[in-house]
Structure 1
Amino acid sequence: MGRPRFDNADFLAAARALAAGRGPAAVTVDAVVDRLKAPKGSFYHRFASRDALLGELWLQSVLAYQEGFVRAIEAGDGLGAALHTPAWVRLNMDDARLLLLYSRHDFVQGDWPAALRRGVRDQARRFEACLESFARQAFGRAGPAQVRRATFVLAEVPTAAVRQHLQRREPPPPLVDELIRETYRAIVS
């Protein structure tokens, strides 16, 4: 019987489970290889370091989240973008815990490959472009005050609304959507 083969997805899944359970600090090379029963060399064959693994995990999670958010903004559906957060959280509790209970800086630090740095920079630009687009559509321009309102209604309110549920490891109830809707209408109207 041969040795089991591991790929990047296996290491990312192990890191996701560890981070979702106990936070990014729980993700060590030893903890990941122990969880998989993989040789340490197999880890280093795929990732230059723990920082590279954590950065890739964070980027993979944020890109998965952004798909629906960006799609709603591109369709001119600001409310749909705001409601994307609780909907996505309900379907992706582990990734949601990573993104919304911890800072990006808990994952993306150290010396990581150029492709990872580029991916993080590109996703940040894409998110900022969505906020500016929404600000122009909803408030008539994308000045600092309008982008600040867009950030509040599309990102900060939904995040605050789901945070306590993520801390308790429970899906956000429908009331969360209602609260986001009411806040959105009060600010955008």
Structure 2
Amino acid sequence: MGKAYFDNGDFLAAARTLAAERGPAAVTVDAVAARLKAPKGSFYHRFESRDALLGAIWVQTVLAYQEGFIAAIEAQDGLAAALHTPAWSRRHLDDARLLLLYSRHDFVQGDWPVSLKKDVRDQAARFEACLRDFARQAFGRVGPAQLRRATFVLAEVPVAAVRGHLERREPPPPLVDELITQTFHAIVG
């Protein structure tokens, strides 16, 4: 048996490009196969369904984003964690658009393989653990009010600050970092 002409990475890359250009709804089995000039059977040889492919894209993207965020929290540098969103968005504009302009539910649908469901649960648990760690570091305890502040300053403010720029397909300017920094200091002290 010869080497396959297409591999999983080819299908993921084609689907990621389609999603970045026109959103997750544009990612269909036919569209991905057409982009690669691959037979549909080649797709189904690698992925159980369109949902499995979209789920794999979302998990890969969120895990790539979370690397720097988690590293900043582990270094007890909450400001770096908050500033990670615009910095990562500048370096990975298309992936930032996928992750921050669309809901996880635009990607996470249907019946997924068990391993993919586990990956989603694991990434969510890592993010929540970071929020708890930061709340403890910054506010001295992990109660509902402290978790709300942590979520606001580490996730909601940075995403809101970059969203308009991502919608316009432009990297967030340095002013975004200044606004996030000022908000962080106003809330955290």
Range of TM-score over shorter length: over 0.9
Alignment of 1:35-184 (within 5 A): 35-184=35-184
Percent same amino acid among aligned pairs? 79
Q: TM-score, normalised by structure 2?
A: 0.98
Q: Describe the SS at the equivalent of 1:170.
A: coil
What is the count of residue pairs matched by the alignment? 188
Give the C-alpha shift of residue 7 in structure 1.
Answer: 0.9
Stretches of structure 1 lacking an aligned partner (at least 5 in a row): none
Give the C-alpha shift of residue 164 in structure 1.
Answer: 0.3
Equivalent-residue separation in structure 1 for 2:127 and 2:3 (angstroms): 42
Give the C-alpha shift of residue 4 in structure 1.
Answer: 7.0
Give the C-alpha shift of residue 3 in structure 1.
Answer: 9.3
Give the C-alpha shift of residue 94 in structure 1.
Answer: 1.1
Give the C-alpha shift of residue 35 in structure 1.
Answer: 0.4
Aligned-partner residue type, residue 21 of structure 2: G
Aligned-partner residue type, residue 158 of structure 1: P
Aligned-partner residue type, residue 151 of structure 1: T
Equivalent-residue separation in structure 2 for 1:50 and 1:153 (angstroms): 35
Q: Describe the SS at the equivalent of 1:165.
A: helix
2:186 paired residue number = 186
Aligned-partner residue type, residue 108 of structure 1: V
Equivalent-residue separation in structure 1 for 2:64 and 2:24 (angstroms): 18
Give the C-alpha shift of residue 88 in structure 1.
Answer: 0.2
Equivalent-residue separation in structure 2 for 1:161 and 1:20 (angstroms): 20
- Taking a change above 3 Å as real, the CA distance of residues 3 and 140 of structure 1, as seen in their structure-2 partners, is closer
- Taking a change above 3 Å as real, the CA distance of residues 30 and 123 of structure 1, as seen in their structure-2 partners, is same
Equivalent-residue separation in structure 2 for 1:183 and 1:9 (angstroms): 39
4+ residue stretches of structure 1 with deviation over 6 A? none
Equivalent-residue separation in structure 2 for 1:167 and 1:141 (angstroms): 36
Stretches of structure 2 lacking an aligned partner (at least 5 in a row): none
Aligned-partner residue type, residue 168 of structure 1: R
